Each structure stands twice: as C-alpha cells, then as structure tokens.
Amino acid sequence: MEDNLVFEYVVSREDFTRAGEASADVKKKLKALGVPSGVVRRVSIALYEGEINMVVHAYGGNITVEITSDKIIMLLKDKGPGIPDVEKAMQEGFSTASDSVRALGFGAGMGLPNMKKCSDRMDISTTIGVGTEIKMEVDL
Amino acid sequence: MKISEIVDLLDAECLTGTDMLEKEVKTACGSDMMSDVLAFAKDNAVLMTGLCNPQVIRTAEMLDTPCVIFVRSKRPTQAMIDMAEEREIVVLATNHRMFSTCGILFQAGLTGGEK
C-alpha cells in the first residue's frame, strides 16, 4: 500500500496579505496529483476559509493536510480565543468578527457553515482561551 | 459571455490578461464580502467587487475565477495585479458602481447561475 502524502504549514497572523498561501499550495498539489476538479474546489474553499479564520480570529496556527487513497484530511489547529458557542457559530450569518475584519472582506458569518458544506465530515474542538482544532475530511 | 464583451459593455480598463479576453465566463457574482463569494459563486464566474485587497485575488484563485472586475473606480495595487497575472486571472476596472455593473451584465444575458 502506498504511503499517505502529508503536507504541513505554519500560518502566521502577522501578515494578512499572505493568508491563503497554504491553501493555494495545497490546491496546486492536488491539481498536480490529478485530483478531480470538484474535490479540489471543495478542499480549496474549505481550507482557505479555515486559514483566514486562523488569521483574523486567532493568533495563527498549523495546518496539516493528509491525502490518503480515499480521502483528504485537513487538520487546522489555532492558538486563539476559542469559540464560545459552536452551535451559534455554525449558523449562517452569525459572526463575531470586528468591523476591521469585515472591512477586509471576511466575517459575513459564512465561513464555518461553508467549511461544513464543502467537506464530507467536520469536527470542531475548542477550548476558551487556548484555541480551536477543526478536522475536515473530503472523500475522493 | 466572452470577457472582451464585458470590457465593451462596462467600458472597462484591462489591467492584466489582455491576451485572455476571449475566455468565456458562465455566471457572475458581485459582493464586497469574500466569505459570501466563497459560499455563493458558481463555477467559472466573473467576480465583481469594490473590495480592494490581495484576498480578492486569492479568493478568485481558490474558485478558479477567470476574471475579476473592480467596480466604482477602485484600482488594485501593482502587487495585486502581479498576483493576478501569475495566476492567469484577467483584472478589469470600471467606473460603474456595483448595481449598474450587475445590471448591465445581467441585461446582456449573464446570470448568477441560481437554479
């Protein structure tokens, strides 16, 4: 059996203009591997939304993407304030984003619901004052 | 609709991708919120926005958007234009406001792609 491919990225909160570089790199890799375009699109959107969240809501973190024979697993771990009410955060339109985040084009309250929509499975584990871990899987 | 037709309809300036104006777009999405664009834009859509930061180009990249139109006289930075060029994304700028831009393109047959 072939080994799974694993890619790791550090997401810095320092530079908003660089947010999305990890997602863009994953997208390129998936395309190069010949992954179907619909899957590439779903993974790209889900990962990019997650990466943006790590920059605008948290203090950065780490992304690990694993490609197995039958799915793509994305693990996003941030160091940040955590999510006080996950159920609310999953509602379309609900957002705790500041005006400065909205001015950057994010914080419409669509991020987490869209991440769930784009993935086949999504789990959120969050601790207030420590950070959030989101695991998403997209089947191949 | 060909991007060249969009240039004519909006009296737009092409800031990069002049060699790609014969590309076709199927639908359109207009918003200043990239989260909404990521949630609602359909395949092969032209993106219209008044937001002017590098994440617009990044969003277009994630969605395989062939063309971004900056409305109401917004002009992207050279760094953004370079980013778009590297990703083979056509960048247009028009003086029309968002509502008019959407209206002109809708009237010419481009839709949001909703069923």
pLDDT at A2: 63
Q: Is A44 on the interface with B (CB under 8 A)?
A: yes
How confident is the model over B93-110, as pLDDT tens digits?
999 999 999 999 999 999
H or E element that contains A126:
strand A121-127
pLDDT at B52: 95
Residues of A in contact with B54 (CB under 8 A): 17
- Helices B54-62, B78-86: inter-axial angle, 10-degree rounding: 10
pLDDT at A96: 85
- Whether the ipTM is more than 0.85: the answer is yes
CA distance B70 to B74: 6
- Give percent above pLDDT 70 in chain A: 99
Chain B residues with CB within 8 Å of chain A CB: 32-36, 38-39, 43, 49, 51, 53-56, 58-59, 61-64, 79
Backbone dihedral region for residue B67 (phi beyond 0: left; psi -120 to 50: alpha; all else: beta):
beta
- Strand B90-93, strand B13-16: pairing: antiparallel
Q: Is the pLDDT of residue A101 over 70?
A: yes
Arithmetic mean of pLDDT, A25-42: 96
pLDDT winner (highest mean) among A102-106, A110-114, A124-128: A124-128
pLDDT at B39: 92
In this structure, how many other beta carbons lie within 10 angstroms of the beta carbon of residue B74?
Answer: 16
CA distance B58 to B16: 16
Report the half-sphere exposure of A101 (CA within 13 A, side-chain side): 19
Indicate which of B47, B55, B77, B88 best probes the interface with A, i.e. most A CBs within 10 Å of its own CB: B55
Q: Is the pLDDT of residue A34 over 80?
A: yes
Are the CB atoms for B45 and B28 separated by under 8 Å? yes
pLDDT interval class at A109 (50, 70, 90): confident
Amino acid at A46: A
How confident is the model over A57-100, as pLDDT tens digits?
899 999 999 999 999 999 999 999 999 999 999 988 888 888 88
Q: What is the DSSP string of A50-109?
A: HHHHHHHTSS-EEEEEEE-SSEEEEEEEEESS--S-HHHHTSTT-----HHHHHTT--SS
Arithmetic mean of pLDDT, A12-28: 90
CA distance B110 to A17: 31
Arithmetic mean of pLDDT, A12-39: 92
pLDDT at A110: 86
Arithmetic mean of pLDDT, B55-71: 96
In this structure, how many other beta carbons lie within 10 angstroms of the beta carbon of residue A37?
Answer: 12
How much is the mean pLDDT over chain A?
Answer: 92
Are the CB atoms for A25 and A111 separated by under 8 Å? no
CA distance A18 to A5: 24
pLDDT at A36: 95
**For chain A, what's the residue count?**
140
How much is the mean pLDDT over chain B?
Answer: 96
Q: Is the pLDDT of residue B115 over 80?
A: no
CA distance A99 to A79: 22
Q: Is the pLDDT of residue A1 over 60?
A: no
Q: What's the pTM? A: 0.92
Are the CB atoms for B55 and B77 separated by under 8 Å? no
Cα dihedral sign for B27, B33, B39, B40? negative
Q: Is the pLDDT of residue A10 over 60?
A: yes
Q: Please state the separation of Cα B65 from the chain's center in Å.
A: 8
Arithmetic mean of pLDDT, B45-50: 97
Query: For chain B, which domains are there?
Result: 3-107 (3.40.1390.20)
